[in-house]
Structure 1
Amino acid sequence: MEVRDSFAEDNAKGWTNAAVAADGEDRKWAIEVEGLDEPVGFTALYGLFRQTAPELGALIGDNPGARGVGREAERLTVAKAFEEFGAHRVYGRIPSFNGPAKKAVTWQGWQHEGTMKGHIRRPDGEIIDCEIWGITAEGWRERWGVDAPDPAPADG
């Protein structure tokens, strides 16, 4: 998790091009809004295909035309984690001051799981807490009324 002064189009292109390859354990998607020329942000799943759960990442710009799209983009990304990639849970790290992010994951059914005191040192030297939030595949299916996938057939 880092704080940037800016995230220029060249940064976005390089970040996205490196991430859209189907190899590796991270996946990233641009958030596009009809009527806007450029993506308004990105979502990501970091650490797929491990024994540990993947982490949700999101970067949403401040374009007024993007208002409200981050929550749905995150929901779709988490759905991919469970339905396409078979994750058993998803978690996220949220700076303690980020009320909109906490509201978005609460809407999705996530639970606050703990706080890492003084985990983030901002460029200006300020130290802030970081909260851990998460949801299991079962909790996700319950929240969204999705049936569990059928088990894979046994070899034979």
Structure 2
Amino acid sequence: MRELRLRPLMASDYAYVFGLLVGGANGARWRFRGATPSPEMFERALWSGVSAQLVAETRDRRPIGLAVAFNAVFEAGHVELGVAVDPGYQKRGGWTAAIGLGLLRHTFLSWPVHKVYGRIPAFNLADLRGLTRLGWVEEGTMRDYCFYDGHYWDEHVLALTREAWEKIDRRFARFCPEFGDGR
């Protein structure tokens, strides 16, 4: 998806990311799970355990999401990934998939990881099914792990190996966003 670009997160993006991760539809589902940290606390937490944070933006430089690689253990060859997309772009035209493909490409081309992990709560079962069709493998389920919308939900841990990613990349590389600041 060439209308999309991934670039490193900058301090000037913090207000947008705060709104994306703390407020609105993503607020109760993502990293802060309904908490509203102070701006200072948010900044510290935003970078804790993070290897890469990439802002997804449209060609006209409008931010629409954040892609994150975190909890890396490079000596063991693995890292966790997460993608948060502006609610106005979710389930619309493949934006979430394109951001995820770009993050996978960045991760596997940047570091010697052999496996990436993603966690998906059961209320996102459609995402879970889509990922398993692409080669992600469910490695575990944490029962009643997260609380959302008045209920406890299982959280599924999925993994994608470098070999499986190479097959995905051959099929979908043309849909990956550009990387860099585009200037």
**Common fold: TM-score over 0.5:** yes
Q: Which structure has more strand as a fraction of its residues?
A: 2
Q: TM-score, normalised by structure 1?
A: 0.69
1:128 to 153, 156, 175: 153
Aligned mates of 1:100, 1:89 — CA distance in 2: 22
State percent identity of aligned pairs.
23
Greater Rg by CA: 1
Query: Do 1:33 and 1:66's aligned partners in 2 also have CA atoms closer than 8 Å?
Result: no
Aligned-pair CA distance for 1:66: 8.1
Q: What RMSD, in angstroms, separates the aligned Cα atoms of the two structures?
A: 3.3
Residues 55-86 of structure 1, C-alpha deviations (whole Å, 9 max, x = no match): 01111111148822111111111111111112
Partner of 1:111: 137
- Bigger drift between 78-87 and 66-75 goes to 66-75
| Residue 92 (1) aligns with residue 118 (2) | yes
Pair 1:105–1:142, CA change in 2 (3 A): same
Partner of 1:3: 33
Q: TM-score, normalised by structure 2?
A: 0.60
1:143 to 160, 163, 168: 168
Matched residue type, 1:83: L
2:79 to 54, 63, 69: 54
Query: Do 1:75 and 1:108's aligned partners in 2 also have CA atoms closer than 8 Å?
Result: no
Aligned-pair CA distance for 1:14: 4.5
Q: Which structure has more helix as a fraction of its residues?
A: 2
Residues 75-105 of structure 1, C-alpha deviations (whole Å, 9 max, x = no match): 1111111111121110101001103432453
Equivalences for residues 33-48 of structure 1 within 5 A: 33-35=58-60, 37=62, 39-48=63-72
Aligned mates of 1:87, 1:61 — CA distance in 2: 28
Aligned mates of 1:100, 1:36 — CA distance in 2: 29
Question: 1 or 2 for the larger relative contact order (CA 8 Å, sep ≥6)?
Answer: 2
Aligned mates of 1:120, 1:129 — CA distance in 2: 7
Query: Do 1:87 and 1:137's aligned partners in 2 also have CA atoms closer than 8 Å?
Result: yes
Identify unmatched segments of 5+ residues in structure 1.
Answer: 147-156
Query: Do 2:77 and 2:112's aligned partners in 1 also have CA atoms closer than 8 Å?
Result: no
Identify unmatched segments of 5+ residues in structure 2.
Answer: 1-30, 172-183
Aligned mates of 1:86, 1:97 — CA distance in 2: 32
Aligned length: 136
